[in-house]
Amino acid sequence: MIHERRFVKGAEIRAKKKGSGDNATPAIEGYAAVFGEDYVLYESKSFRMVERIKPGAFTRALEENQDVRCLFNHDADNVLGRTANNTLTMKQDDKGLQFENDLDSRTRVAQDVHCFVDRGDVTGCSFAFTVRKQTWTEQEDDGFTLYLREIEDLDLFDVGPVTYPAYTGTTVGARAHAHLSAELRSAPWAQELPAEIRSKLMDRAKKEDKECDCRCVACARDNDCSGCSDHMVDCGDEENCDHSRAKTPPAEDAGLDRQKAEAEVDERMRRHGIKIVA
């Protein structure tokens, strides 16, 4: 099961000292999650997929005393604290999920993190989770679609400071690939999305990209049916494929036409940075 990770713009983190004088010990505190804030999972010119955490989403996780770690950059080698031994404590308020973590200066990572946060080098927090209860809604407005995912209940795995936001690639409006479906098959960020979100994005991609069911190399790789080496004669997808352009090549030229089409598709894939698998 994929653990989802979210960096929340409204989250905040501070370095502090607990106690006074020679007995003072380092710690960090802040919000790992903020309720009601829009987190853009994907955005294009025609649709946006947004996520919100509803107030109370952490109630069950806290009541069950789930064993949560405080990690730097979600790295299991950078352990800062843990709820099981009370070095990490969390509570939920009207704003979101608040946490405080005691740092052990005997570890290098604790020293570094306290310094990074204190100087302002690291200013954000993130958390890892899996969803237990959610609601999806869809709104249409003048040809633009908004998909809203509201998270109502979740299991919590770790919280902590992060250097960079998670999934920065998903919030960019101008995509590198011509087709969303091609990006979902190849982009590293897409492989880390849970199956449910990937499925919804792929359903949208089929509408936007007008993806057909051709098994030819052109359609299967980048959904560009204009270079279909099978000429769409056996496609069967009357809705998305323009069969008026289909012309069966002479038998003696079929092999050459297919080689040419494959070469053209491979070149398009290289230009888009898509790895070609033999």
pLDDT band of 12, cuts 50, 70, 90: confident
What is the per-residue pLDDT for 167?
44
For residue 63, the model assigns a pLDDT of: 98
Beta 69-71 vs 144-162: how paired, if at all?
Answer: parallel
Q: How far apart are CA 157 and CA 167, in angstroms?
A: 18
Q: What is the mean pLDDT of residues 71-85?
A: 97
End-to-end CA distance of the chain: 29
- 210-221 pLDDT, tens per residue? 555 454 545 555
- Residue 174's pLDDT is 34
Pairing mode, strands 124-141 and 39-43? unpaired
**Burial class of 5 by CB neighbour count within 10 A (0 to 12, 13 to 18, 19+):** middle
SS percent in the chain: helix, strand, coil, step 5: 30, 30, 35
Give the list of residues 6+ apart from residue 83 with CB closer than 8 angstroms, or none. 65, 66, 67, 68, 69, 89, 90
Q: Average pLDDT, whole number, for the chain?
A: 78
Residues 11, 127: contact at Cβ < 8 Å?
no
pTM of full prediction above 0.75: no
pLDDT tens across 18-68, in order? 888 778 899 999 999 999 999 888 888 888 899 999 999 999 999 999 999
Q: How confident is the model at residue 241 (pLDDT cuts 50, 70, 90)?
A: low
If you average pLDDT over residues 70-87, what whole number do you get?
97
- What tokens does 170 get? 């998903």
50 SS3 class: strand
Residue type, 72: F
